[in-house]
Amino acid sequence: MNAGSARWPECFESRRPLAGSGGGAQRGNILRTFAVLCTVIFLSCAVVARAQDLMSHIDLTSPEMTEAEFTRDQVVALLDAATRDTPADFTGKRLSGLDLSGLDFKGAVLRAARLNKTNLAGANLDGAILDQAWMLHANLSGASLRAASLFSTQMMRATLDGADLSDARITANLTKASLKKAKLMRADLSADMKNQSMGLMRGVLRSADLEGADLTGANLSRVDLEFASVKGANLANANLSGAELGGANLSGSDLSGANLTRADIQDTRFLDILGLDDIVGLDTTRHRGSAMFN
């Protein structure tokens, strides 16, 4: 249901009395109770629709999403003026399309910044705050994002090959992103159960490429990895409980000590994996019969 065109529940449109016997007061109580339930359902559906419809209401070709309000030299000047107590603050700034490769953004605040198609290859973003930033098609190859915060960050089709996201908190949308040989040791991509007003916030890596990535000890609980390529990755001691792995390819990966409790492994490939006997909760996985092992 689309929130913008959501139809008012029929329980408010009908004025016909309920069939059957009983006093008017009883019928009124039932109608009021039903009306409250309809309202709750209506509002809940509207919230979910807004969360799912976010992209459709934003013009990704507008200047707001494609142009920059600074030059590289101006960005460098702001970074040079920053101190440990007063980090560089680019909150809500438009930096799309700039070449910011190799710059030091350590500890910088980039909340809700526009970084679409921005070149951040080799940049230092350790401890940076990138919450709600837009980084569509951004190039972060070889960048360091250790302990960075990426809450509700939009990173579809971004390139993070060889990037270091160790210890980072990531509830970003990384659909079709490339993270080949990326480092995500101890990274937390798990669902944020405290912030669900706009839907389940978690790492989304649908159809992403994580071939050869290091996810040792990463928290991937309830993460969406459907149709992702995770071939040859290191998932030793990773938490994949409740993760959605339908159609994913984990062939050649190391799953020693990994937790797959209640994970959905429909049509998932586990060919030539290491540590098969050490996987925790494999017997509780969903759709195990369709998964491929050898």
Q: Which residue has the tokens 């992103």?
A: 177
Residue 116 and residue 109: Cα distance in Å, rounded?
Answer: 16
Give the pLDDT confidence of 222-278 residue by residue, as tens digits.
999 999 999 999 999 999 999 999 999 999 999 999 999 999 999 999 999 999 999
What's the mean pLDDT when you consider all of the chain? Answer: 86
How much of the chain, in percent, has pLDDT values that exceed 70? Answer: 79
The two beta strands, 169-173 and 269-270, are unpaired
- Per the document, the length of the chain is 294
| Residue 113 maps to a domain | no
Give the pLDDT confidence of 72-124 residue by residue, as tens digits.
999 999 999 999 999 999 999 999 999 999 999 999 999 999 999 999 999 99
Asked if 284 and 259 touch (Cβ cutoff 8 Å), the reply is no
Which pLDDT does position 196 carry in this prediction? 55
Which pLDDT does position 190 carry in this prediction? 97
Which pLDDT does position 192 carry in this prediction? 84
Which pLDDT does position 195 carry in this prediction? 61
Closest CA to 139 of 154, 166, 120: 120
Give the pLDDT confidence of 162-200 residue by residue, as tens digits.
999 999 999 999 999 999 999 999 999 999 877 655 556
Angle at 249 between CA 199 and CA 221, to 5 degrees: 35
Which pLDDT does position 58 carry in this prediction? 85
How much of the chain, in percent, has pLDDT values that exceed 90? Answer: 76
Give the pLDDT confidence of 215-231 residue by residue, as tens digits.
999 999 999 999 999 99
Which pLDDT does position 202 carry in this prediction? 95
Which pLDDT does position 199 carry in this prediction? 58
SS3 134: strand
Residue 64 and residue 73: Cα distance in Å, rounded?
Answer: 20
In the chain, the DSSP E strands lie at: 149-154, 169-173, 269-270, 292-293
The two beta strands, 169-173 and 149-154, are parallel
Total count of domains within the chain: 1
| Residue 104 maps to a domain | no
Which pLDDT does position 210 carry in this prediction? 98
pLDDT band at 24 (very low <50, low <70, confident <90, very high): low
| Residue 34 maps to a domain | yes
Q: What sign has the CA pseudo-torsion 69, 155, 120, 139?
A: negative
Query: Cβ–Cβ contacts within 10 Å for residue 99, how many?
Result: 14
| Residue 26 maps to a domain | yes
| Residue 286 maps to a domain | no
Residue 165 and residue 188: Cα distance in Å, rounded?
Answer: 10
Structural domain of residue 12, as residue ranges?
3-53
Residue 117 and residue 272: Cα distance in Å, rounded?
Answer: 37
| Residue 29 maps to a domain | yes
> Which range is least confidently modeled, 41-50, 58-67, 175-184?
41-50
